[in-house]
């Protein structure tokens, strides 16, 4: 069968013949991206732009089949393009080694494509591409896999839900005191080692922000004695940081760090007897004792008989004398480490990281593929677990947990990549009525399921905007030029935003005279014109560059023609919540992956727009509430707004 037989059958001969000139943007050349690039090339697409910001890592080779060992450290986009070009002599692949969020990839650039295919691994980049495709009105195929599960979703502006029409789950966070003082699970110790200890020792000097965090915790009614202890801890860190940065090749700095966090800090915590009334107290570890084998952690009474007939204590939690752990020794990464081995690994990894600082690296943060940071987090979390009587984890398990990794499965990537091409062909055929979201599910009898595509969410903050574009020289164009130019004869009251930043409102027009450059509103960014009465959709203006032939003597900006006409907004009713129930406090999770967050109790207010509670319907009334000490947390849709009263 000839290459392209299937595509020709689906598209028909006329549309198929256009495939070679269809401009495809493929974002991401990782697990899905490599498979997908191979598929689009083999299908007969002839004009492909492949973009990825990363270089090839050894750990990519097991599933990213366009890469070989010799390619490690090379640009993913370049190597993938090179390899896949050989699959079809007629294909043009333009590789770009860059971040899709870079300013040159503006709305005009996105508009040059006929279709965009996402093969990304993070929410932030996905949401960005979604927004750009909405602004440029280019069809998008969005996809993702998680182990055996996968999903492919076609997105078409004004016809289907966009990626942001539905709230996405945010990763789990933990209360700060669980992480800092009272861990009870291995993950608490791993988060402590990765997000707290590693950055305290090798990250930026966060003295000031740490103080603010502690002051905030104090104001939120946390135990004053505990906060004072944490403050003392912070000061002691300074000494360790200095030692790590002073040239020396011995283990002194590692010892100092160890004694601070696994000994002195534990002793300090133990002195707060109240904390240990309802939970088991931790045990301070001894550096020298572990080294010379005299330190025994929580000895248990059971004895075993050794071959020479003497009884010795077993299961003493140093982890080095149980037959089970000895038998588990297989691959190095999957070995349960003893207390001694964890200490050795702690010393060795601290020395390696300290040497990197001394060699000029300014800060070091966790990367699961950086052996030094992974070793450090493995050792430090296991030592902390030992002190708190929590099970230790192997290096492999720590890597999975700290890297939030769900194992990637090449087969799932392959199935998803095949589905992406089928969805792309359907979009190009404009078979909108028959398109569906397709899911790979963990069901042997029915591995693929599909769902009809819901229409856009009327209150989506992304795809319900009216998008337009202004091409300009930001150093010579003022905010007023753009806002007045876009509104034309329209004299309604508006506020102007860039992301969450307010730049102007009906009572504050100081910025209208300033240039866009001065306001840091440059290529690739969006200005939002929000209707003060909340009646009309927001106008979202992409900032682009002037065409090269733009006449010198004409204004330094080009307005769209015709001017955008925002539609009436579909009104959402805001939820009502009784005023007087502080016990039913609102709790929100932080959006950040491993942020250590304290959940604060807060009182809820009514959020009625019709008189009996604060009015949220206009930007001005929202700002007024903020000035009055109320924080408004925007949900993904306006109707979800929550108000938290700050005491
Ligand atoms: N903002 C972005 N701009 C460009 N490419 C991106 C961006 N964010 C992520 N990517 C790319 O998307 C790809 C996602 O692929 P994948 O999920 O297989 O990740 P990976 O980094 O190759 O593998 P793993 O995370 O499992 O080690 C990666 O190659 C990554 O570099
Ligand atoms: Zn949407």
Distance 131 CA to ligand 2 centre (A): 9
All CATH 3.10.290.20 domain ranges of the chain, comma separated, are 466-558
pTM: 0.69
Question: Does 54 contact ligand 1 (Cβ within 6 A)?
Answer: yes
Cα(639) to centroid of ligand 2, in Å?
Answer: 14
Q: How far apart are CA 496 and CA 476, in angstroms?
A: 19
* 3-class secondary-structure state, position 293: coil
Paired tokens of 33: 């991206």
**129, two tokens:** 């591409």
Positions marked active-site: 177
Residues in binding site for ATP: 28-33, 52, 60-63, 76, 121-126
100 within ligand 1 shell (Cβ under 6 A): yes
Residue 10: pLDDT band by 50, 70, 90 thresholds?
confident
Give residue 619's pLDDT: 58
Least-confidence region, from 69-73, 202-206, 428-432, 611-615: 611-615
Other C-beta atoms within 10 Å of 625: how many?
18
Query: Which SS3 state, helix, strand or coil, does residue 126 take?
Result: helix
- Residue with the nearest Cα to atom 29 of ligand 1? 30
Residue 197: alpha-carbon gap to chain centroid? 21
What is the DSSP track for 336-352? Answer: PPPHHHHHHHHHHHHHH
Q: What is the pLDDT of residue 334?
A: 87
Q: How far is the CA of 137 from the centre of ligand 2 (A)?
A: 13
Of 535, 543, 483, 471, nearest to 508 (Cα)? 483
Q: Report how far apart, in Å, the C-alpha atoms of 589 and of each of 171, 550, 592 are.
A: 9, 49, 9
> Cβ(511)–Cβ(504) under 8 Å?
yes
Q: Spell out a b/e string for 424-457, using b for 16 or more CB atoms within 10 Å of the CB, else e.
A: bbbbbeeeeeebebbbbeeeeeeeeeeeebeebb
125 lines ligand 1 (CB under 6 A): yes
Domain with CATH 3.40.50.720 in the chain: 5-165+408-452
Q: What is the CATH number of domain 5-165+408-452?
A: 3.40.50.720
Q: How many helices and strands (H and E) does the chain possess?
A: 20, 19
> Looking at ligand 1, which atom is closest to the CA of residue 413?
18
Summarised one tens digit per residue, pLDDT across range 288-323 is 999 999 998 875 544 444 444 443 433 445 654 444
Ligand at minimal distance from the CA of 125 is: 1
Atom of ligand 1 nearest to the CA of 101: 1
ipTM more than 0.90? yes
Give DSSP secondary structure letters for 523-585: TT-EEEEEETTS-BPPEEEEEEEPPTT--TTS-SEE--SSPP-PPBPPP-PPPP--SS-TTS-
Annotated binding site: 28-33, 52, 60-63, 76, 121-126, 162, 165, 460, 463
**How confident is the model at residue 468, as a pLDDT?**
97
pLDDT digits (tens, 9 = 90+) for 122-168: 899 999 999 999 999 999 999 999 899 999 999 999 999 999 999 87
Residues in binding site for Zn(2+): 162, 165, 460, 463
52 lines ligand 1 (CB under 6 A): yes
Asked if residues 461 and 497 have their Cβ atoms less than 8 Å apart, the reply is no
The model's pLDDT over 492-516, given as tens digits with 9 standing for 90+, comes to 999 999 999 999 999 999 999 999 9
For atom 2 of ligand 1, which residue has the closest CA?
99
Which residue CA neighbors atom 25 of ligand 1 most closely? 121
Q: What pLDDT is recorded for position 228?
A: 77
Ligand 1 lined by 144 (C-beta under 6 Å): no
Whole-angstrom distance, CA of residue 286 vs CA of residue 258: 9
Cα(153)–Cα(142) distance, integer angstroms? 5
Q: Which CATH number fits domain 466-558: 3.40.367.20, 3.10.290.20, 3.40.50.1860, 3.40.50.1380?
A: 3.10.290.20
SS3 content of the chain, % helix, strand, coil (to 5): 40, 15, 45
Q: Is the CB of 107 under 6 A from ligand 1?
A: no
CATH 1.10.10.520-classified regions of the chain = 176-402
pLDDT of residue 330: 60
Domain 176-402: give its CATH code.
Answer: 1.10.10.520
**81-95, 307-321, 432-446, range with greatest mean pLDDT:** 81-95
Atom of ligand 1 nearest to the CA of 59: 27
Indicate whether 417 pLDDT > 90. yes
Least confident of 169-173, 507-511, 612-616: 612-616
Tokens for 45, please give them: 């697409």
Confidence of residue 239 (pLDDT cuts 50, 70, 90): confident
Among candidate residues 354, 364, 380, 356, the one with its CA nearest the CA of residue 199: 364
Q: How confident is the model at residue 572 (pLDDT cuts 50, 70, 90)?
A: low
CA distances from 301 to 304, 305, 314 (A): 10, 13, 8
What backbone torsions phi and psi does residue 216 show, to the nearest 5 degrees?
A: -60, -45
29 lines ligand 1 (CB under 6 A): yes
Average of per-residue pLDDT values in the chain? 83
SS3 readout for 399-467: HHHHCCCCCCCHHHHHHHHHHHHHHHHHHHCCCHHHCEEEEECCCCCCCEEEEECCCCCCCECCCCCEE
């Amino acid at each position: 069968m000839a290459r392209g037989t299937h595509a020709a059958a689906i598209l028909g001969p006329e549309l198929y013949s256009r495939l070679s000139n269809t401009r495809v943007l493929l974002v991401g050349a990782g697990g899905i991206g490599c498979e997908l690039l191979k598929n689009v090339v083999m299908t007969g697409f002839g004009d492909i732009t492949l973009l990825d910001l990363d270089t090839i890592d050894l750990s990519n080779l097991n599933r990213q089949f366009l890469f070989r060992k010799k390619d490690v450290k090379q640009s993913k986009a370049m190597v993938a393009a090179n390899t896949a070009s050989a699959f079809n002599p007629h294909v043009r692949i333009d590789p770009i080694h860059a971040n899709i969020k870079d300013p040159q990839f503006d709305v005009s650039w996105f508009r040059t494509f006929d279709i965009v295919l996402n093969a990304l691994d993070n929410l932030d980049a996905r949401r960005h591409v979604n927004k750009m495709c909405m602004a440029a009105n280019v069809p998008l195929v969005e996809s993702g896999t998680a182990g055996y599960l996968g999903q492919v979703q076609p997105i078409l502006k004004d016809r289907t839900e966009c990626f942001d029409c539905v709230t996405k789950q945010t990763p789990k966070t933990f209360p700060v005191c669980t992480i800092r003082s009272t861990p009870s699970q291995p993950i608490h110790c791993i988060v402590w080692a990765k997000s707290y200890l590693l950055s305290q020792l090798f990250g930026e000097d966060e003295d000031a922000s740490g103080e603010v965090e502690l002051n905030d915790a104090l104001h939120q009614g946390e135990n004053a004695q505990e906060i004072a202890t944490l403050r003392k801890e912070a000061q002691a860190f300074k000494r360790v940081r200095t030692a790590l940065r002073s040239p020396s090749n011995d283990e002194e700095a590692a010892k100092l760090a160890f004694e601070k966090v696994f000994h002195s800090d534990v002793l300090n915590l133990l002195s707060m007897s109240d904390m240990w009334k309802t939970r088991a107290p931790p045990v301070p570890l001894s550096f020298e004792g572990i080294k010379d084998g005299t330190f025994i952690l929580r000895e248990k009474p059971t004895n075993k008989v050794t071959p020479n007939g003497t009884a010795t204590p077993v299961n003493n939690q140093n982890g080095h004398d149980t037959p089970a752990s000895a038998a588990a020794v297989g691959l190095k990464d999957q070995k349960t480490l003893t207390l001694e081995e964890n200490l050795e690994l702690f010393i060795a990894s601290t020395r390696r990281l300290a040497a990197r600082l001394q060699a000029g690296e300014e800060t070091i943060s966790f990367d699961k593929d950086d052996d030094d940071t992974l070793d450090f987090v493995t050792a430090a979390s296991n030592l902390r677990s030992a002190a708190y009587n929590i099970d230790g984890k192997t290096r492999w398990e720590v890597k999975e947990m700290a890297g939030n990794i769900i194992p990637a499965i090449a087969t799932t990537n392959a199935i998803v990549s095949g589905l992406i091409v089928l969805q792309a062909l359907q979009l190009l055929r404009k078979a909108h009525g028959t398109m569906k979201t397709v899911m790979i599910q963990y069901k042997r009898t029915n591995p693929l399921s599909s769902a009809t595509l819901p229409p856009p969410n009327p209150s989506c903050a992304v795809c319900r905007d009216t998008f337009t574009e202004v091409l300009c020289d930001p150093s010579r164009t003022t905010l007023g030029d753009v806002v007045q130019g876009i509104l034309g004869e329209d004299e309604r009251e508006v506020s102007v935003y860039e992301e969450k930043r307010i730049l102007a409102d009906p009572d504050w027009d100081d910025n209208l005279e300033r240039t866009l450059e001065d306001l840091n509103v440059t290529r690739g960014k969006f200005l939002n014109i929000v209707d003060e009465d909340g009646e009309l959709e927001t106008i979202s203006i992409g900032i682009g560059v002037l065409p090269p032939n733009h006449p010198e003597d004409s204004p330094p900006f080009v307005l769209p023609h015709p001017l955008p006409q925002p539609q009436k907004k579909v009104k959402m009713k805001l939820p009502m919540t009784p005023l007087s129930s502080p016990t039913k406090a609102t709790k929100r999770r932080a959006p950040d992956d491993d942020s250590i967050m304290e959940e604060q109790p807060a009182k809820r207010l009514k959020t009625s727009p019709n008189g009996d509670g604060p009015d949220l319907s206009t930007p001005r009334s929202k700002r007024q509430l903020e000035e009055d000490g109320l924080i408004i947390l925007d949900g993904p849709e306006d109707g979800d707004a929550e108000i938290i009263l700050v005491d």
